[in-house]
Amino acid sequence: MTRRPRRSVPATIVGLLLLVAAVVVVVSCIRLIAGSPPLVPFSRLGELGHETTWNDPAVLVAGGILALAGIVLLACGLLPGNPQVLALAPGDDHTTAGISRRSLTGDLTSLARRVDGITAARVGVGARTVTVNVRTPLRDRSGLAERVRELVTERLDDINLARPARLRVTVTSDREA
């Protein structure tokens, strides 16, 4: 049930690079047909290809950079990202259900803001961890983290995720030093 994000960043990068290369070649060909000097002098490219050897430092550096870029793009495309939908524990009828990270984040954020003394809350939901950062103007922050932890834990128990999440609560001050 864990739905993963699409890997559109590597595809966009490669697509844009290919588009730029294609546009440069097309513009050069059109200029050559029109009788103007091309953007990319094809005769000079041919000479450069004839003169360059595999042992030239520029070829080795460019090859290393391109290989590294290829490995990074492959890793981006193959490694799984953070889940977009978190699975819920199966019920009595063994149905499969899930909750989106965005809706869970919004629910837990509004819940944390309801605690007395809290002015702002930010919640991050990962695959296995829920992080709650709250802000308060109070000097005495004792007990706030426990109250927020108790409310969020109750809500997470009500939601009943298939993989129980670890909960981290941080209380910071709104007061400027």
User: Tens place of pLDDT for every residue, the chain, 177 residues?
Assistant: 455 556 677 778 888 998 999 999 899 889 988 988 888 888 888 888 888 888 889 889 999 999 998 888 888 777 777 778 888 888 777 777 888 889 999 999 999 999 988 999 999 998 789 999 999 998 888 888 999 999 999 999 999 888 888 999 999 988 653
136, containing H or E segment: strand 129-136
Structure tokens at 83: 């889940």
- Number of domain units in the chain: 2
Residue 153 belongs to what domain range?
Answer: 85-173
What is the pLDDT at residue 5? 56
The most distant pair of C-alpha atoms in the chain lies apart, rounded to whole Å, by 80
Kindly state whether residues 67 and 94 are assigned to the same domain. no
Place of tokens 């007395």: 116
**What CATH number does residue 116 fall under?**
3.30.300.30
Q: Do the Cβ atoms of 120 and 135 come closer than 8 Å?
A: yes
Kindly state whether residues 28 and 102 are assigned to the same domain. no
Kindly state whether residues 65 and 144 are assigned to the same domain. no
Domain boundary among 21, 48, 78: 78
Kindly state whether residues 131 and 146 are assigned to the same domain. yes
